[in-house]
Structure 1
Amino acid sequence: MAYLVFICGHAGTGKTTLARRLIAPLMRAAGSAFCLLDKDTLYGVYSSAAMSLLTQDPNDRDSPLFLQHLRDPEYRGLIDTARDNLELGISALVIAPLSREIRERKLFDRAWLRVGEDVEIRVVWVHTEEETARQRILERGDPNDAYKLAHWDEYRQRRFIPSGESCVGLLMFDATAPGVADYDALIERILRG
């Protein structure tokens, strides 16, 4: 059985930290290999080059131009790469915000994902308080966050915690100060559904 696990959430919530913490114990518990697919690792250099040509700012990763022209192709390529691994029998742990796809329930749509019934889909929404996320963004000092920080009031309007129908099926994870028991419980929920 192959797993397609999405680790989603807004910037600074701890998606990458969580995924890196989970992957080894997840592989041990599942008894199978997982690949780690981080959107920023796969597409960061390409997007920087493209935005440098378009806006002369290689770190422009949140402007309307980026969101309109590069966001969706990045996500499609990320999901297609995960699917290639799944077809080889390798489970995928995918790290990306994917907030629009959460709202539109696309990550549960097998036709949109182009995966069969033999793939177990799990979607983890990582969240923390806005100020905690902002502080983490400031501390990491990633130039890709410059636009976000310079336009924080605009960016914060896009932040949300899923609720109602958009929350159905999500594995919610509060990454403010998780302990070992929280990680173990999440692994159990990922593997058992």
Structure 2
Amino acid sequence: MPRLIFFCGHAGTGKSTLARRALPLLRARSGESFCLLDKDTLYGDYSSAVMGVLTGDANDRDSPLYLQHLRGPEYGGLLKTARENLALGTSCIVVGPLSREVRAHQLADRGWLDVADEVRVHVVWVYLQEDEAHRRIAQRANPNDAWKLAHWDAYRTRLFMPEPATYPELMLYDNTRATEAAFQALLSALEG
């Protein structure tokens, strides 16, 4: 039974790092094949080329043009690639913010995901305290984050923290000062 594991959360929370740390351990413990599908790896260069042509800013990931016209196809392609791998029996770890989809409970909707009943789906919401997220975003110096840093007050209005009672399908992972015990507990939950 392949599994589909999402690592979601806002910019700078450590989704990619956490997924890359978890994948080899999950593979070793389960004996399953896994592939890592990180939105930035799959679509980063493509989106930069498109936005450079359309707006003159290859690093634009926050304008209405990007959010309305490019974001959806990126996530659509990400999920199609996951579905193809799952149909071949390969488990997938998908990394991306996916905040709209989390808010709408779409990642818990098998009909929306369009995955077989035997696919085990887990959704991890990775979060940080806001000041730590800001610090990490500034420290990593990714040009795609320039708008966020320059307009933090506007950007932060898009941030949300799912409440456990409202989002029972999520595994909430506080990456602010995550301990080894917290990481091991997450791995155990993902093995189920």
TM-score by length of 2: 0.97
Contact residue 3 and residue 121 of structure 2 kept, 8 A? yes
Structure 2 partner of 1:60? 60
Aligned 1:143-182 pairs, distance under 5 A: 143-163=143-163, 166-182=166-182
Which stretches in structure 2 are left out of the alignment for 5+ residues?
none
Contact residue 102 and residue 166 of structure 1 kept, 8 A? no
- Equivalent-residue separation in structure 1 for 2:82 and 2:39 (angstroms): 11
- For residue 158 of structure 2, give the secondary structure of its aligned residue in structure 1: coil
- The Cα offsets for residues 54-100 of structure 1, whole Å up to 9 and x where unpaired, read as 11000001111110110111001001101111011100000000001
- Equivalent-residue separation in structure 2 for 1:191 and 1:47 (angstroms): 34
Deviation at 1:164, TM superposition (A): 5.5
Which stretches in structure 1 are left out of the alignment for 5+ residues?
none
Aligned 1:26-65 pairs, distance under 5 A: 26-65=26-65
Contact residue 164 and residue 170 of structure 2 kept, 8 A? no
Once superposed, what is the RMSD of the aligned Cα atoms? Answer: 1.0
Counting aligned pairs with the same residue, the percent is: 55
- Equivalent-residue separation in structure 2 for 1:48 and 1:150 (angstroms): 19
Aligned length: 192
- For residue 188 of structure 1, give the secondary structure of its aligned residue in structure 2: helix
Runs of 4 or more, structure 1, over 6 Å off, are none
- The Cα offsets for residues 128-168 of structure 1, whole Å up to 9 and x where unpaired, read as 11110010000001001111112211110011110165421
- Equivalent-residue separation in structure 2 for 1:62 and 1:37 (angstroms): 22
TM-score by length of 1: 0.97
Contact residue 5 and residue 93 of structure 2 kept, 8 A? yes
